[in-house]
Amino acid sequence: MSVTAPKGFLASGIHAGIRRNAKDLALVRSETPAVGTAMFTVNQVQAAPVVVSKAHLESAQPQAIAVNSGVANAATGMRGELDALATAAEAGRLLDLHAEEVLVLSTGVIGTLLPLDKVLAGLRSAATALSADGGPDAAEAILTTDTKTKQAAVSMDGFTVGGMAKGSGMIHPQLATMLAVLTTDYPLEPDEALELLRPAVDVSFNSITVDGECSTNDAVCLLANGASGIERTPATDLAFSLALAQVCRDLSEQIVADGEGATVLAQIEVSGAIDDREARAIAARIATSPLVKTALFGHDANWGRVLSAAGSAPYNGGFASVDSNRVSLSYNGTRVLEHGSPLGAEPDVSNGVCRIELDLGLGGGSASYLTSDLSYDYVRINADYRT
């Protein structure tokens, strides 16, 4: 159940000394020629590894991915880009690949230069440690404030999709302070990987939030090497799309469940909107509302906060459509509002899971969002992050 679950993939995770007492450098590579793609943050302040990896994807098919934690290598100017290029070049030399065939990812503190000497020395150790059993070590090496590793794998119809991810805070599309590496032994053509990855990301990593903050470094990478040897058919193509989406959803749910200071996992379901885009805008506004999230922390079904957030969802230069006389709302299956009229019910929201269902009664649009509560510990973790 890891990034090395598909055939023909190796991984490692080692301590290079970037972080004080934790693994902090990971390598993932395909043993046989692969094709691949990636999706990156839309934040206009983009980290050096994002800039370099984008350029590499334009000139070559990725065969390996090098990831460091502890330092984001963001807001580091030309020096940061040179360090990212040097990382890719050394990984390529060690793995007998062209530098352009290596994607580089970083996560950690923004504005700090990458300790390149430690990274380059660590790459030599990581290359030696590559193993088909190295997935768990790699998943550990990419963590920052995470409290646990995030891994997933799905096998069906003779192929496997595997993956690992990190993310705990600064989580909000598009994408978030999260990194994900996905691997598969399903055969793909070079020009179709992105079109298969995009819908899987949209329903998973791009539909979660912890704190509404969009990062400088986030990326989701996919490598496909065809090592399963299966023959493609329309049926197996459909199965692959389902498996890829399932792994992405699993990893994204693990990210939110491990949100910094999180004690409650909340599913926001919006239906009856004018269209799906307006539904998504409303779901995102509810999921990121500090007042909704603090009420979740207090196990308080203060549902007026949900309505207030829904009615102020930015959309297309204005606000998404909401008619207060048509709205119905439920918490954990208990209806609290019916067509704009309160029912006087007090739902049970005492456990660590909450499902909020909002029906706008305006059309056929719908959207889902996964979020967490906002706790005292979230403030403590982020107040003390560098110290």
Q: Are 122 and 138 in contact (CB under 8 A)?
A: no
**Residue 62: φ, ψ to 5°:** -70, 135
| Residue 332 backbone zone (phi > 0: left; psi -120 to 50: alpha; other: beta) | left
Q: Are 205 and 180 in contact (CB under 8 A)?
A: yes
177 is catalytic: yes
Strand partners, 165: 150, 180
Place of tokens 């460091």: 68
Q: Are 33 and 147 in contact (CB under 8 A)?
A: no
* Torsion, Cα of 112, 116, 117, 123 (10° steps): 130
CA-CA-CA-CA torsion sign (236, 164, 210, 332): positive
Q: Which of the following is catalytic: 37, 41, 144, 177?
A: 177
**Residue 21: φ, ψ to 5°:** -140, 45
What is the distance between the alpha carbons of residues 58 and 35, in angstroms, rounded to a whole number? 12
Residues forming the active site: 177
